C-alpha cells in the first residue's frame, strides 16, 4: 500500500515557527517519526512539502498517475482559502485525510472553515504529529474495507 503525505506552506518551519502552538520538534524529526512508525509494515510512505499552492496541485495530480492508495494532507493556511486544492483532491479520487497539528477549532475564527475537508474522507486535528499516525491508520482501514 502506497501512501503520500503532503504538507503545505510553513509546515517545514516546525521547530522554528510559533513553538507555543506547534512545539519545538523540527519538521525533519517529525517526518522521521512518521516513517519509523510504519517502517516494519507493508505501508510505503512518501512525504512531500511545498509552500506553493500550484505545486501542491501538481503533486496531487502526479499522485493520481503514480497510483497512490491514499493521501494525508496538511494544507496549512491553504485549508482556509483554497478552492483549487478542494478541486484537486476531488479530481484524483484517492481517499484523502486532512490533518492539522493544532486544534484549528480552538483558534481564530478564520481557521474554523476548511475548504479542503469536504473533499476528504475525514479530518484529524489537535493531536500534533500523532494526527498523521491516526490519519494513516484510518486510511489503512478505509482502503482495506473497500
Among the residue ranges 33-41, 64-72, 76-84, 88-96, the one whose residues contact ligand DQA (CB under 6 A): 76-84
The answer to whether the Cα torsion of 125, 126, 128, 130 is positive or negative is negative
Active site (catalytic) residues: 22, 100
* 69 versus 117: smaller Cβ distance to ligand DQA: 117
Q: Which residues, numbered 3-62, are part of the site for ligand DQA (CB under 6 A)? A: 10
How many residues are recorded in the chain? 146
8 Å CB contact between 73 and 99: yes
> What's the min distance (Å) between Cβ of 67 and ligand DQA?
27
Query: Per rule CB under 6 A, is residue 100 in the interface with ligand DQA?
Result: yes
Q: How far apart are CA 35 and CA 114, in angstroms?
A: 27
Query: Per rule CB under 6 A, is residue 104 in the interface with ligand DQA?
Result: yes
Task: Report the candidate in 121, 122, 124 with the shortest Cα–Cα distance to residue 134.
Answer: 124
**One residue of 74, 82, 96, 116 binding ligand DQA per CB under 6 A:** 74
Residue 46 CA from chain centroid, whole number: 11
Total residues at interface with ligand DQA (CB under 6 A): 10
* Three cell numbers, residue 34: 512518521
Q: How far apart are CA 100 and CA 71, in angstroms?
A: 14
Query: Per rule CB under 6 A, is residue 76 in the interface with ligand DQA?
Result: yes
Among the residue ranges 58-66, 70-78, 86-94, 138-146, the one whose residues contact ligand DQA (CB under 6 A): 70-78
- Please work out, in degrees rounded to the nearest 5, the angle formed at the alpha carbon of residue 106 by the alpha carbons of 132 and 123: 30
Query: Per rule CB under 6 A, is residue 101 in the interface with ligand DQA?
Result: yes
Chain residues binding ligand DQA by CB under 6 A are: 10, 74, 76-77, 79, 100-102, 104, 111
Amino acid at each position: 500500500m502506497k501512501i503520500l503525505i503532503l504538507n503545505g506552506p510553513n509546515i517545514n518551519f516546525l521547530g522554528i515557527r510559533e513553538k507555543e502552538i506547534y512545539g519545538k520538534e523540527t519538521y525533519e524529526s517529525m517526518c522521521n517519526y512518521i516513517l519509523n512508525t510504519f517502517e516494519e509494515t507493508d505501508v510505503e510512505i512518501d512525504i512531500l512539502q511545498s509552500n506553493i499552492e500550484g505545486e501542491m496541485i501538481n503533486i496531487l495530480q502526479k499522485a493520481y498517475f503514480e497510483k497512490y492508495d491514499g493521501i494525508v494532507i496538511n494544507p496549512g493556511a491553504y485549508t482556509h482559502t483554497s478552492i483549487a486544492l478542494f478541486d484537486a483532491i476531488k479530481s484524483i479520487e484517492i481517499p484523502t485525510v486532512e490533518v492539522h497539528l493544532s486544534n484549528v477549532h480552538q483558534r481564530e475564527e478564520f481557521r474554523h472553515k476548511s475548504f479542503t475537508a469536504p473533499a476528504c474522507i475525514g479530518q484529524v486535528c489537535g493531536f500534533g504529529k500523532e494526527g498523521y499516525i491516526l490519519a494513516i491508520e484510518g486510511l489503512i482501514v478505509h482502503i482495506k474495507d473497500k
